[in-house]
Amino acid sequence: MKRKLAERANRRKKLQDKLKEQEKVIESKQAILNEKRAEVESYAQDLLNKLEDDLNKEKKEGELAITDHIEALKQEKLVSFEDKLREARDGKDFGKVLEGYQAASKRVDGELEKEAAKQKADLEKALKNRRG
């Protein structure tokens, strides 16, 4: 009976030692896993930051292009009135031509503001879709 108890105690000790070894293996693998996870998270964050920077840069460039385009359209639409203003500079109907130019300028500004808002909204929508 003492021999059976000793065998059981010995077997229990061996199982406990084996369990401790397995726990050590698990701990080391868990540490490696945590390191890898941290590396992946860092890499993913770097990629996300780069993407955000690229999208912000693209947004600024797009807004600048829209502004330049709108200014070019404004100049194109008002060039005939500017010519009329130069011709009427010393004439009697300069006031009428000036009023016409100012009215046309306001009308064109309103139209172009709507166009710029639409283009900017389209740009925002496109960038938002790319963000996901």
pTM as predicted:
0.62
Q: Are 116 and 66 in contact (CB under 8 A)?
A: yes
**pLDDT value at position 43?**
97
Angle formed by the axes of helices 94-131 and 2-87, to 10°?
170
Most confident of 25-34, 75-84, 92-101: 25-34
For position 98, what pLDDT does the model report?
79
pLDDT (tens digit, 9 = 90+) per residue, 78-92?
A: 888 777 777 777 777
* Other beta carbons less than 10 A from residue 41's beta carbon: 10
